Chains A and B, each alone.
Chain A
Amino acid sequence: MSAIIIRQGLVVGAHASSVADVLIVDGKIVEVGTVDDAPSDAHEVDARDCWVGPGFVDLHAHLREPGREAAETIESGARAGALGGYCALVAMPNTEPALDSVALVAYVLERGLRTPLDIAVAGAITKDRRGESLAPMAEMAALGVRLFTDDGVGVQDPSVMRRALTYAKPLGVRLAQHCEDEQLAAGGTMNEGVLSGRLGLVGRPALAEELMVLRDIELVRLTGSPLHFLHLSTSRSLEMVVRARDEGLPVSFEVAPHHFTLDESACATYDPVFKVHPPLRSRGDVEALVEALRRGVVDAVATDHAPHAPELKDLAFDEAPAGMLGLEHAASLTFEALGPSPDPQTFFQVLSRGPARIAQLRRDDERVRHSAHGGAMVVGTDANVTVFDPAGRWSVDRHALASRSMNTPYDGRALVGRVSATIAKGRLVVDEGRLT
């Protein structure tokens, strides 16, 4: 018997918000409203002036285990996630070896169970993520895997991608694509444009992303199989996918905080911490992403949390690996990007409800024992709850992160809006901004 009472926060439901207490007992929300009869041993969370909503779900976390535990482990990644307000993480398959078999998926799921969060797995679409032959998606789906991607790279061969979509459709799973044509982007380290020309860095053109987005929309039209577009970074990519979605195609997309907060000019310092794929884009692209966020057309904000051991980020820009941390500051950055008076509905939509729908984490999936996410904050639902303080202020300190790595591009940045408590599967994991 464990009870938590969240007092006087703005409870953000699916369609409306109101100030209320939320009582959680044994992993469930048991009362929303004015709670007078909370158990005497209930842990009290003061949520005055805070937003209380469904726990965040990250569709895109590179947890590095197995293979690169020096950069991150499932355990350290889960701690970072909890501090960032996340109750569920989808672990990306570009580990070493890649998550392309039942044994590896089972390993990650099992490690995940030792953390307080729900750790889901995105399986590889192709064996060893080589883009050649299909990985055993049916077997992995039977273990509860709902998303498949070769992320890190996209599936380059259109016939393989077509086959994968066709194969996945009856399994009830969704493919997710890292859209970049590797031949057009070959050797590229930053966005192609005036700046890359001046800096003498090889560019990754926006077109490399957009061509694959275009191709995959047509493959979805052809196969009718659902597809999730990972970390869209250009204005045109967004436009194409939104249009396809409006046409009724089963497509969804996410944007990553670094793509809507940083632009390519950051690369002028040649600091490899700003190197990421797809690359930081032009100012105009950043503005288009922010605009889309504010208009509420974005399905999900996903972190693309990509830890790298420090020595790797001390290489020359073109030799350093791509990727940056995201879990611990994604919510604050999303809050900032939503403008001067952010709508709490939109905030929890992009961080929780949208991604939860795409991740399809279900309570009835007994094999993985995950709970339900992205709920409406009503009685009877699983207690995955995040308390966010819109007035909280903090500064990013790369040495003080829970992640094993330090490659955040926001070191020293002052942020407004902070996760003050995370309740994952009914357990208070973060309280007053700290791990319990």
Chain B
Amino acid sequence: MIESIRGRSLLSLDDLSKEAIVEVLDTAESFVEVNRRSIKKVPALKGRVVASLFFEESTRTRLSFETAAKRLSADVLSLAVASSSVKKGESLRDTIATIDALGIDAVVLRHRSSGAAMQVSRYVPHVRVINGGDGQHQHPTQGLLDAFTIRQVLSEQRGTTGLESGSELFHGLKILIVGDIRHSRVARSDVAAYATLGAEVRICAPGTLLPDGVATWPVTVVHDVDEALAWADVVGLLRLQSERGSGAFVASLDEFTFTHGLTVERARLLKSEALIMHPGPMNRGVEIDSRVVDSSQAIVERQVSNGVPIRMAVLYLSVAGSREGQAQ
């Protein structure tokens, strides 16, 4: 169990303690404030070099990480590897060695293969590796920003602040995750974050889109989506990963919408104060109806805007921090 990500790589939320997660959320509160300033920049990572290495293109996530790094005054080496000469079959180790030779303190890695971040952290143990999404494994900063967004919005509703809410707010909170859990790194990180923080997590998906061994996950699998929606305080939807072959896991997109899509009709089953989340990019009309996205219960935009402060917090703790006992 990792008690704090200070001075460490962030590869997965599976092995983070509650304290470690809360520390990131609390630190992010400070950065929300920084992001409200007219000068949205602090010198915390001045002179540090953060490489962003995206083997799989994701403009949104890359911009979010690079903005975070720049607002911490880090120098950013940006490599859009997905569109460069580095293609499938080129040694991951060689690419990392090349970047490392330029002198870097941290690398943000996005890769289409599960485990790539862990492999890289083995190749360059002196570099802090921030997993920006690896295959179907984990997307830790998304999990953290989802938890942060829930805490932020619910705290506002209750007239308090995220800092004051701490992790208490999650105790017994009813969170439902619907959709393609099997192929989703976001689902794996969300489940880890929510369960560790003390929430009650249910998941609902067509049988083919449940992961292997789901019975051992800290969640309850439910099959009646309507009943689950009425139960939930928070509903997290996931992108149907058609590019990862989920198309073959359900009969058709239409049928998925029919069985598990958050349609206007289904949205009526939700509690009036229930929150609707989606990590993006959305397949409007498939897992979620456009009109539901635009409803006041949807906090998708809050998720997006919290991406930068969460990633600032992660970079700050991981890169600026030194591990306990390693100080000086």
Residues of A within 8 A of B (CB): 187, 192-203, 269-271, 311, 314-319
Q: Is A315 within 8 A of B92, CB to CB?
A: yes
Given that A192-B212, A193-B212 are known contacts, is A316 also in contact with B188, CB under 8 Å in the complex? no
Task: Across the interface, name the chain B residue whose C-beta is closest to A318.
Answer: B113
Per-residue A-contact encoding for B106-121, CB less than 8 Å = 1, 0 else: 0000011111101100
CA distance A199 to B213 in the complex (A): 11
A317→B214 contact, CB < 8 A: no
- CB of B213 within 8 A of CB of A200, answer no
**Residues of A contacting B61 with CB < 8 Å?**
none
In the complex, B91 has a CB within 8 A of chain A: yes
Partner of B214 from the list A192, A197, A314, A319 (CB cut-off 8 Å) is A197
Q: List 25 A-B contacts (CB under 8 A).
A: A194-B213, A196-B213, A199-B114, A200-B114, A200-B115, A200-B134, A200-B138, A200-B185, A201-B115, A201-B136, A201-B137, A269-B122, A270-B116, A271-B119, A315-B89, A315-B91, A316-B111, A316-B113, A316-B115, A316-B116, A317-B114, A317-B119, A318-B114, A318-B135, A319-B89
B212 A203 Cβ-Cβ under 8 A: yes
- Inter-chain contacts of B116 with A (CB < 8 A): 270, 316
A sample of 13 more A-B contacts (CB under 8 A), given A197-B214, A269-B122, is A192-B212, A193-B212, A196-B213, A197-B213, A198-B211, A199-B114, A200-B134, A201-B136, A311-B91, A314-B94, A316-B119, A318-B113, A319-B113
Smallest beta-carbon distance B246→chain A, Å: 12
Which residues on the A side are within 8 Å of B134 (C-beta)? 200
B59 within 8 A of A: no
Interface set of B (CB-CB < 8 Å, partner A): 14, 88-89, 91-94, 111-116, 118-119, 122, 134-138, 185, 188, 211-214, 216-217, 245
Q: Which residue in chain A gives the minimum CB-CB distance to B116?
A: A316
* Given contacts A315-B89, A319-B88, A193 and B119 within 8 Å (CB-CB): no
Closest 8 CB pairs of A and B: A270-B115, A194-B213, A316-B113, A200-B137, A200-B136, A197-B212, A197-B211, A200-B114
A318 CA / B211 CA spacing, docked (Å): 17
Q: Are B114 and A201 in contact (CB under 8 A)?
A: yes
Q: Considering only CB atoms, which chain B residue lies closest to A272 in the complex?
A: B119
User: For residue A270, which residues in chain B have a CB less than 8 angstroms away from its CB?
Assistant: 114-116, 118-119
Name A198's contact: one of B94, B113, B188, B245 (CB within 8 Å).
B188
Q: Which residues from A are CB-within-8-Å of B119?
A: 270-271, 316-317
Instruction: Give the chain B neighbours of A196 by CB distance below 8 A.
Output: 212-213
Which residue of B88, B89, B135, B217 contacts A200 across the interface (Cβ within 8 Å)?
A: B135
Contact A199 B93 (CB under 8 A): no
Rounded to whole angstroms, the CA-CA distance of A284 and B115 in the bound complex is 25
When distances are taken between beta carbons in the complex, the residues of chain B under 8 Å from A200 are: 114-115, 134-138, 185, 188
**Closest residue to A317 on the B side, CB-wise?**
B115
Q: Could you tell me if B115 and A195 are in contact, using CB atoms closer than 8 angstroms?
A: no
Chain B positions within 8 Å of A319 at CB level: 88-89, 113
User: How far is it, in angstroms, between the C-alpha of A315 and the C-alpha of B89 when the chains are bound?
Assistant: 7
Whole-angstrom distance between the alpha carbons of A197 and B137 in the complex? 9
Residues of B within 8 A of A199 (CB): 114-115, 137
B173 CB, min distance to chain A CBs, angstroms: 23
Most buried by B among A200, A271, A318, A319: A200
> What chain A residues lie within 8 Å of B115 (beta carbons)?
199-201, 270, 316-317
With A200-B188, A271-B119: A194-B216 Cβ-Cβ less than 8 Å: yes
Within the complex, the shortest CB–CB distance from A283 to chain B, in Å, comes to: 14
A30 to B53, CA, bound (A): 67
Contact B92 A316 (CB under 8 A): yes
A319 to B94 CA separation, bound complex (whole angstroms): 15
Q: Which B residues are in CB contact (< 8 Å) with A192? A: 212
Residues A314 and B212 in contact in the complex (CB < 8 Å), given A198-B14, A200-B188, A201-B114: no
Chain A residues contacting B212 (CB-CB under 8 Å) are 192-194, 196-197, 203
Contacts of B112 in A (CB 8 A): 316
Q: How far apart are the CA atoms of A315 and B114 in the complex, in Å?
A: 12
In the bound complex, residues from chain B placing their C-beta under 8 Å from that of A317 are 113-115, 119
Enumerate chain A residues within 8 angstroms of B214, measured Cβ to Cβ.
Answer: 197
> A201: shortest Cβ distance to chain B, in Å?
5
CA distance A196 to B119 in the complex (A): 17
A199 to B118, CA, bound (A): 11
Identity of the chain B residue whose Cβ is nearest the Cβ of A201 in the assembled complex: B114
Contact (Cβ within 8 A) B93 A314: yes
Which interface residue of A197, A271, A318 has the most chain B CB atoms within 10 A?
A197
Q: CB-CB < 8 A to A314: which residues of B?
A: 91-94
CB distance from A126 to the nearest CB of B (A): 27
| Residues on B with beta carbons closer than 8 Å to the beta carbon of A269 | 118, 122
Q: How far is the CB of B122 from chain A (nearest CB, A)?
A: 8
Q: Which residues of A contact B89 (CB under 8 A)?
A: 315, 319
Instruction: Output the least CB separation between B290 and chain A (Å).
Output: 30
Write out the residue numbers on chain A whose beta carbons fall within 8 Å of the beta carbon of B136.
Answer: 200-202
A198→B216 CA distance, assembly (Å): 9
Nearest Cβ on chain B to A164's Cβ, whole angstroms: 31
Inter-chain contacts of B14 with A (CB < 8 A)? 198
With A and B bound together, what is the CA distance between A270 and B116 in angstroms?
A: 8
A66 and B89 alpha carbons, distance in the complex (Å): 22
**How far, in whole Å, are A327 and B199 apart by their CA atoms in the complex?**
51
Provide the bound-state CA to CA distance between A367 and B89, in Å.
42
Q: How far is the CB of A203 from chain B (nearest CB, A)?
A: 6
A203 to B214, CA, bound (A): 14
How far is the CB of B52 from the nearest CB of chain A, in Å? Answer: 18
Residues of B within 8 A of A193 (CB): 212-213
Smallest distance from the beta carbon of B137 to chain A beta carbons, Å? Answer: 3
Q: How far is the CB of B256 from chain A (nearest CB, A)?
A: 20
CB distance from A312 to the nearest CB of B (A): 8
| Least distance between A412 CB and chain B CB atoms (Å) | 14
Q: Which residue on B lies nearest to A267, using beta carbons?
A: B115
- Alpha-carbon separation in the docked complex, A197 to B245 (Å): 16
For the complex, give the distance between the alpha carbons of A180 and B2 in Å: 39
Q: How far is the CB of B56 from chain A (nearest CB, A)?
A: 11
